[in-house]
Amino acid sequence: MKFEEARAQVISAIQFASSALNEELIASKLADNGADLAFSELELDSLAAMELCIEIEDKTGVEIDLGDLALHASVNDLAKLMVARSPAHDR
């Protein structure tokens, strides 16, 4: 998995788990591939955070847990973790 693919999966999971992408500022930040967004800006509750983790695992097979969201606290940091954990990562 490449970084761009992982980042797209994180954004897709955010859209699935939260209505945050309906907010113009957040949507515009995520549309810019060079920008990053901290999960704290999304104000995810615990259920939405868990749904985000489950959606990523379901779509990619890469296991992500709530602790990973705390340690890798932005979209790009989480995408980098997903690349590293991907069974067949081609960087």
pTM (predicted TM-score): 0.84
In this predicted model, what pLDDT tens digit does every residue of 20-68 receive, in sequence order?
556 777 777 778 878 898 988 888 889 999 999 999 999 999 999 999 9
- Give strand pairing partners of 74: 38
The CATH number that domain 3-85 falls under is: 1.10.1200
* CA dihedral over 60, 66, 71, 75, signed as positive or negative: positive
Helix or strand or coil: residue 43?
Answer: coil
In this predicted model, what pLDDT tens digit does every residue of 65-82 receive, in sequence order?
999 999 999 999 999 999
The residues spanned by each domain of the chain are 3-85
User: CA angle, 89 as apex, 88 and 91 as ends, to 5°?
Assistant: 150
